[in-house]
């Protein structure tokens, strides 16, 4: 396994792979690798000859009051996990390798990003799209793998690839969960033991939706019940609870029979902002 920091060096190596007929899979990460990331790497290995994991805490996707400075960095542990998982290259650039002082070209999406996390984190997906496109250009992947936990991000990246005619297949893998149902996340380490225990109510609430659906409740009624269910946790501070069309991410009040919906939530416990979602048909 090779660890490279230079975008030019990575690009040259990846172009040589392509010229040799090798396929490349990219797994973009911000480090602090966990079982969710390892599932992405596993999917990448199934779909390409070479696997590149990028580890880059991207400053442009953090807002002024967010946790960029305190975001955990665990590079040595991440490197060991990548090595055991059979990764070929770790691309770990510095910020000044990715953004020059007079950087001025950005990629912005203006439909899928207007709701959910995009509405609460202005500029977040502008930063995400820009850095992912840069990673695509540097790493020259045939496929790129993203997780369903960040459902909005995955859909936006897929839309960007479609709209900009980027020849990269976007693979979206299922949410990976702890034994008690909590979605695996790098930010789970922010939780105190008490908050960690309470946070399981998020997935329990999402699972309850399937039972409430049997009661022939409306979308508004289901959303209200889910909101109250999660608020049973003493330390829960709800950012949003919403039900949207799974393809457009627009809120749905009167879905048609068989419509694919996404129930998405964001909840604060202490300083940890946790997101989760489930899909279901109406």
Catalytic residue ranges: 37
Q: Among all chains, which residue has been given the structure tokens 């695996």?
A: 184
CA-CA distance, 159 to 174, in Å (whole number)? 19
Cβ pair 267, 238 in contact under 8 A: yes
Conformational region of residue 267, where left means phi above 0, alpha means psi within -120 to 50, and beta covers everything else: beta
User: In which residue are the tokens 């039900």 written?
Assistant: 243
Minimal CA–CA distance to 265: which of 216, 234, 230? 230
Report the C-alpha gap between 269 and 282 in whole angstroms.
Answer: 30
Long-range Cβ pairs for the range 216-219 (8 Å, 24+)? 218/253, 219/243, 219/252, 219/253, 219/254, 219/255
Q: Would you call 112 exposed, middle or buried from its count of C-beta atoms within 10 A (0-12, 13-18, 19+)?
A: buried
Cβ contact 244:261 at 8 Å: yes
Cβ-Cβ contacts under 8 Å for 95 (sequence gap 6 or more): 59
Cα separation, 124 vs 130, whole angstroms: 10
**Which tokens is 7 given?**
């975008």
């Amino acid at each position: 396994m090779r660890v490279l920091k230079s975008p030019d060096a990575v690009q040259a190596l990846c172009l040589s792979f392509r010229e040799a007929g090798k396929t490349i899979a990219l797994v973009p990460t911000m480090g602090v690798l966990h079982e969710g990331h390892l599932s992405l790497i596993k999917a990448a290995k199934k779909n390409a000859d070479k696997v590149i994991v990028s580890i880059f805490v991207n400053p442009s996707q953090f807002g002024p009051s967010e946790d960029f400075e305190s975001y955990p960095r665990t590079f040595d542990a991440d490197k060991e996990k990548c090595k055991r998982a059979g990764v070929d290259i770790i691309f770990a650039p510095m910020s000044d390798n990715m953004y020059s002082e007079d950087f001025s070209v950005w990629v912005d999406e203006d439909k899928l990003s207007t709701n959910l996390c995009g509405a609460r984190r202005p500029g977040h997906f502008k930063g995400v799209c820009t850095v992912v496109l840069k990673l695509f250009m540097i790493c020259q992947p045939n496929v790129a793998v993203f997780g369903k936990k960040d459902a909005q991000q995955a859909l936006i990246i897929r839309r960007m690839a479609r709209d900009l005619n980027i020849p990269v297949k976007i693979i979206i893998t299922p949410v990976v969960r702890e034994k008690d149902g909590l979605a695996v996340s790098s930010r789970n380490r922010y939780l105190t033991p008490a908050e960690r225990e309470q946070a399981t109510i998020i997935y329990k609430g999402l699972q309850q939706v399937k039972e409430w659906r049997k009661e022939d409740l409306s979308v508004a009624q289901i959303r209200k019940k889910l909101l109250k269910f999660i608020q049973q946790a003493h330390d829960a501070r709800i950012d949003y609870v919403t039900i949207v069309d799974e393809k457009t991410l627009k809120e749905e009040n009167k879905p048609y029979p068989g419509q694919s919906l996404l129930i998405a939530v964001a909840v604060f416990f202490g300083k940890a902002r946790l997101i989760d979602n489930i899909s279901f048909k109406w």
